[in-house]
Amino acid sequence: MSAGTPAPPIRGADISTALLAEAAGHRLSADGDSAPIERILAGRGATHVRLRLWVEGPAGYGDEASALTLARRAWDAGLRIYLDFHYSDRWADPRHQEIPPSWRGDGLAALARRVHGYTRQVVADFARQGTPADLVQTGNEISAGMLWPLGRLGPDRADGGWPGLLGLLSAAIAGARDGSPPGHRLAVVLHTDRIGDPTGSRAFFDRVRAAGLPFDVIGLSYYPFWHGPLALLRSTMTDLAGRYGTDVLVAETGYPWTMAGGDPVLGVADAARLPEAGLFPPTPCGQRAYYRALRDVIGQVPDGRGLGVVVWEPGWLAGVGWEPGASAPFTNLTLFDRSGRLLPAATAAFAPATR
Q: Which residues are catalytic?
A: 141, 252
Report residue 22: phi and psi, to 5°: -65, -40
Nearest CA to 15 out of 339, 313, 258 is that of: 313
Distance in angstroms (rounded) separating the CA atoms of residues 43 and 74: 12
| Number of other residues whose CB lies within 10 A of the CB of residue 284 | 15
Report residue 282: phi and psi, to 5°: -80, 70
Nearest CA to 282 out of 256, 254, 263 is that of: 256
Going 124 to 85 to 101 to 68, the CA torsion angle's sign is negative
Nearest CA to 303 out of 353, 249, 238, 232 is that of: 238
User: Any idea how long the chain is?
Assistant: 355
Q: How many helices (H) and strands (E) does the chain have?
A: 10, 10
Report the chain's terminal Cα–Cα distance, integer Å.
Answer: 7
Q: Contact 153/162 with Cβ under 8 angstroms?
A: yes
- Residue by residue, what is the 3-state secondary structure of 248-312? EEEEEECCCCCCCCCCCCCCCCCHHHCCCCCCCCCCHHHHHHHHHHHHHHHHCCHHHCEEEEEEE
Helices (H), 84-161: 108-128
Distance in angstroms (rounded) separating the CA atoms of residues 291 and 233: 13
Q: Contact 19/316 with Cβ under 8 angstroms?
A: no
Q: How far is CA 299 from the centre of its chain?
A: 19
